[in-house]
Structure 1
Amino acid sequence: MARLGALLLAAALGALLSFALLAAAVASDYWYILEVADANERGGGAEQLSSHSGLWRTCEGQSSCVPLIDPFASEGLDASPSVQHLLSLHRAVMVVLPLSLVLIVCGWVCGLLSSLTQSVPLLLLTGCYFLLGGTLTLAGVSVYVSYSHLAFTETTRQYGAQRVQGVRISFGWSAALAWGSCTMEVLSGILLLTAAHTLSLSRRPGAPHSVVI
């Protein structure tokens, strides 16, 4: 059945694209962008005062990037409850998003097996698996967004609102790639569920027999 083959192929390509987008997002350093609007008044260029950060490191101006504080090595750190909460959110992000990469690979293998065997239950299971994986990726990105806003709020509380008046924050293309990965993962799950429904209909009594290569 041509439709079934197209659905399975689209699901496989969607899963590959989802993995590529998330891998690029996790490895890049443009999740969180901080721009200083009044850099000239502070005696420095905008490139020197602005910065961009990833999940693992931050880059300030044109200088080299430095690793972020390891949230796992800071579990016993004597810090305020707000800082401890930020570290726990950072730990969650650093676990959930790499785990999502592993789950996408496992899902792709399951999808390949279900396509070769043309098993309706396995297709249904793999489709639900991708939907849950997309939900996990969405949760990781959402936690990162919450973590970033709380980190800026904590910085404002510590240094005063006047010192951050000229600072503008935004999320960069790394975060956009992660959102795209989540979308493609969910789409792959929907395509697999549709393929399972199509295969189930083709096997009902009275349906025309066809062979998918």
Structure 2
Amino acid sequence: MMRYELVVLSAGFTGLLSFSLLAVAIGTDYWYIIDVNKPNHTGPDDLSSHSGLWRINEGVNRSSVIPSFTANMSSLSEAERHLLGLHKVVVIVLPLSLVLLVFGWILGLVSSFASRPNLLAGTASYFLFGSLFTLTGVSTYIRYSNQAMEEFKRTVSPENLADVDVSFGWSLAAAWLSYSLEVATALLLMLAARIRQMKGHYDSGVAIAMS
């Protein structure tokens, strides 16, 4: 039988790593990368850019804040308002998921020391619930980015897009990995709960046999 201590230590490690990766993802600006390679471009400015949840970085020294909550909605088109709405969901849900991870790690620590199957299973369910926030945030960001690119393509000629390469960056990959580790943490806690439950049944059987 797999040792209980090894399983709960593994769950603690994956939970902590999930938090760290999500914190890095939220704080970095490599969610979406636009690489422009114009062969005849002779200007001093780099046309490429990379963006995160809060900022867009253009060239070497230029950056701007994404005005999700400060934009004048009355001056925007319906498509632009929809995009900002999607972005608001992302910047609310992902930090909330980070907070839920903190409380989940604390709950996991308490339940592992208590060694009670019900507490361990409840904490596992909590992690699964929290992982839905991460999944929602990441999925919404992908939808937001794809729709933003579709809107951009409507305003730019195909010739100008020929030298533009767009891709999702490592910040998004870190968020996806964080989600996977949240689920792994939940599964490990469920396994720990099962181990304690089986240990309890075994101890009860031994006590009955010896009485």
TM beyond 0.5: yes
1:134-153 correspondence runs (5 A): 134-153=131-150
CA 1:52 to 1:119, structure 2 compared with 1: closer, same or farther past 3 Å?
A: same
Which secondary structure does the structure 1 equivalent of 2:3 belong to?
helix
Q: Secondary structure at the match of 2:71?
A: coil
| Structure 1 residue 61 corresponds to structure 2 residue 59 | yes
Provide, for residues 129-154 of structure 1, a one-character-per-residue CA deviation record: whole Å limited to 9, x for no partner.
11121222111111101101111111
* Structure-2 change in CA distance of 1:196 and 1:96 (3 Å): same
Structure 1, unmatched stretches of 5+, are: none
Structure 2 gaps of 5+ residues are none
SS at match of 1:49: coil
User: What CA distance in whole angstroms lies between the structure 2 residues aligned with 1:157 and 1:143?
Assistant: 21
TM alignment of 1:114-193, pairs within 5 A: 114-193=111-190
Residue 11 of structure 1 is matched in structure 2 by 11
2:90 corresponding residue in structure 1? 93
Q: Does 1:22 pair with 2:49?
A: no
Whether the aligned pair in 2 keeps the contact of 1:201 and 1:207 (CA below 8 Å) is no
- How many residues were matched structurally? 206
Residue of structure 1 in register with 2:41 after alignment: 42
**Aligned partner letter, 2:172:** A
Go from structure 1 to structure 2 and tell me whether the alpha carbon gap of 1:4 and 1:86 turns closer, same or farther (over 3 Å shift).
same
SS in 2 for 1:204: helix
Distance 1:75 1:136, change over 3 A: farther
Q: After the TM superposition, which of the residue ranges 2-11 and 194-203 deviates more from structure 2?
A: 2-11
**Other structure's SS at 1:58 match:** strand
TM-score (normalised: structure 1): 0.90
Alignment of 1:69-108 (within 5 A): 69=67, 71-74=68-71, 76-108=73-105
Aligned sequence identity (%): 42
Q: What's the TM-score, normalizing by structure 2?
A: 0.91
Segment drifting more, 90-99 vs 71-80: 71-80
In the aligned structure 2, how far is the partner of 1:10 from the partner of 1:75? 48
Q: Is 2:73–2:81's contact at 8 Å kept on the other side of the alignment?
A: no
Q: Which runs of 4+ in 1 moved over 2 A?
A: 42-45, 73-78, 158-165, 205-209
Alignment partner for residue 113 of structure 1, among 101, 110, 114? Answer: 110
* Cα distance change of structure 1 residues 144 and 207 upon mapping to structure 2, 3 Å threshold: farther
Tell me the distance in 2 between the aligned counterparts of 1:197 and 1:75.
54
